Chains A and B, each alone.
Chain A
Amino acid sequence: MSSLQKTKKQDKTFTSEKAPASFLLKRSRAFVVFCMITAILLFSLSGCRSAEKKTTRSLFALDTYITITLEGKDSEEAANEAANYIMELERKLSRQDPGSEISSLNLSSKEMPVTLSKETYDLLSMVVEYSNETEGRFDLTIAPVMDIWGFGTEDAHVPTQEEIAEVLPLVDYSKVHLLPDNKAYLEEGVKVDLGGAAKGYIGDLLMEKLEGYKLSKIILDLGGNICCGSSSSELNIGIISPLSSDQLCCTYSLPKGQNCSVITSGAYERNIEENGVRYGHIMDTSTGYPADTDLLSATVIGPDGTKGDVYSTTLFSLGSEKAMELSSREGIDCILCMENGTLWVSSTLEGKVNAQEGWKIEYFS
């Protein structure tokens, strides 16, 4: 062997620093070292590319488009269960499905109360409570008014004053009666629609259900209602700009290890335009007309999706002044988006919200 080659090899053994006295001569030890380094290398390579299995599942349900993104060893199984659970809950909660529990509740009367499943009953009682808490600004019995406006259907139109006056007395959450043993009934003519809270509630139930899977990341997008959490990294949640659907007005960063729901209500979707006037789909429950608000959208961020769903609608319909008052009183974290480009943000969210170009953050408390 030439001396040149010898020094070259010697160099290598020194630079790679894995050489106890005579690793070359003791093959067995060299082999162990080789195996260890291989193992470490493979581990680190797999670690930096895709640490966890990622599963994305999309489906049409709850009258919207749902995307479930999960990361973790059992993410596929978990996504399947989540999708099945959504469809199961939809069958119970959809007002459009004549076989659903909500449909049978809408046909109930004092003489014929209906027995509901635990999920439906829980949601119903929560929403009645929230209707009470918001003094009827959020009212689950708004359904008859929504029906005559027909948002999102082919015969969407602006109803006449008389039409509205006729159904407005039916909008009254105190006409929903909850009985023991998961039973409930409605007074005559009253119809409930839990659509304003169901997506938030289903998000909550799914988060609970997915807890058992030890996932490192959960992102549930229920038609723009977000429930998410990640134990491995911070999550950035964009809030859509109410002025253009392909832009954001701000982003919210959720620290790792926390779960939250981010729910936005606005009048930029599902509206009716007639004689140059835009009618949004969020109603003022006292007039039966779209809420007269100076807000473009309201976003509620918090651990409770049901509450977030209810309050984003309520805050939006109240307008900026009353919305700020209510949210500080109830301790709700929110982002209120104004027409002049101002974002009113709860001071408790300070440092977590970043405005996009063209928007300016002001804190309130």
Chain B
Amino acid sequence: MPKKDGKSNTSAKALPKRRFRFCLGDVFVIVSILLFYAILIVGTWIYTRKNKNKPPYVRITRDGQVLLEKDLREFSEPMEYRIDGDHGHMVIYISSEKVYVKESDCPDKICMDQGDLKKPGDGAVCLPNRVVVEIVAGDEDDASGKVDVISK
């Protein structure tokens, strides 16, 4: 009976009066649809949460090649990272609070003038040695607060 009602669209206003009759197949379809969406939504949520919680890390590259890439929290014991570059050596101090270029043999010392690198987006570049020291946000959206780029 209800099946016939449904086919003839003339009685659309009589919706509350209509009686649905469920068979096992219908329940199966509904449950599987709901389950599918639930998995999709929960999965996405977990995925984004995981990315959001990624902590900032320090990255040191020379000429584009990564020399060191490590979670900052791993440096509860501060360490000094040494690099032997074109102009001699560089020493980079790394602790979980801050990173800075401690020594560099380059002539201009601009890398040392950059001071403490503390938050994602901070970086020091040594042109003569082609070394970049930077703090990278685990979650890219968080990088350097609300500024997209810096003019200097």
Binding site for B on A (CB under 8 A): 1, 5-6, 9-10, 12-13, 20-22, 24-27, 30, 34, 37-38, 41-42, 45, 49, 54, 58-60, 63-65, 69, 152-154, 156, 219, 221, 224-226, 228, 235-240, 244-246, 248, 251, 262-264, 266, 269-270, 299
Q: Which of B3, B108, B122, B147 contacts A25 (CB 8 A)?
A: B3
Residues of B82-97 contacting chain A, CB below 8 A: none
Q: Do B152 and A30 have beta carbons less than 8 Å apart?
A: no
Q: Do A219 and B2 have beta carbons less than 8 Å apart?
A: no
Tally B residues with Cβ within 8 Å of A.
51
Q: Do A237 and B151 have beta carbons less than 8 Å apart?
A: yes
Contacts A9-B27, A64-B127, A154-B107; A21 near B12 (Cβ below 8 A): yes
Binding site for A on B (CB under 8 A): 2-3, 5-7, 9, 12, 15, 18, 20-22, 24-27, 29-30, 33-34, 36-37, 40, 44, 48, 61, 63-64, 107-108, 110, 113-118, 122, 125, 127, 130, 132, 140, 144, 146-152
Top 7 A-B residue pairs of the complex, sorted by shortest distance between their CB atoms: A22-B6, A224-B152, A240-B152, A238-B147, A21-B6, A262-B151, A238-B150
Q: What does DSSP make chain A's interface, helix, strand, loop or mixed?
A: mixed
Q: Do A239 and B26 have beta carbons less than 8 Å apart?
A: no
Q: Which of A9, A154, A226 contacts B149 (CB 8 A)?
A: A226
Chain A residues near B7: list those with CB within 8 A.
Answer: 22
Assembled-state Cα–Cα distance A5/B114 (Å): 67
Q: Which of A25, A237, A251, A264 contacts B26 (CB 8 A)?
A: A25
Assembled-state Cα–Cα distance A13/B33 (Å): 12
Q: Which of A154, A219, A248, A269 contacts B110 (CB 8 A)?
A: A269
Chain B residues near A237: list those with CB within 8 A.
Answer: 147-151
Contacts A12-B30, A22-B6; A60 near B107 (Cβ below 8 A): no
Q: Do A21 and B9 have beta carbons less than 8 Å apart?
A: yes
Residue of B at shortest CB range from A299? B151
CB distance from A137 to the nearest CB of B (A): 21
Assembled-state Cα–Cα distance A26/B9 (Å): 14
CB distance from A162 to the nearest CB of B (A): 25
Q: Which of B6, B21, B125, B146 contacts A26 (CB 8 A)?
A: B6
CB distance from B4 to the nearest CB of A (A): 10
Q: Which of B20, B146, B151 contacts A263 (CB 8 A)?
A: B151
CB distance from B135 to the nearest CB of A (A): 11
Chain A residues near B107: list those with CB within 8 A.
Answer: 152-154, 156
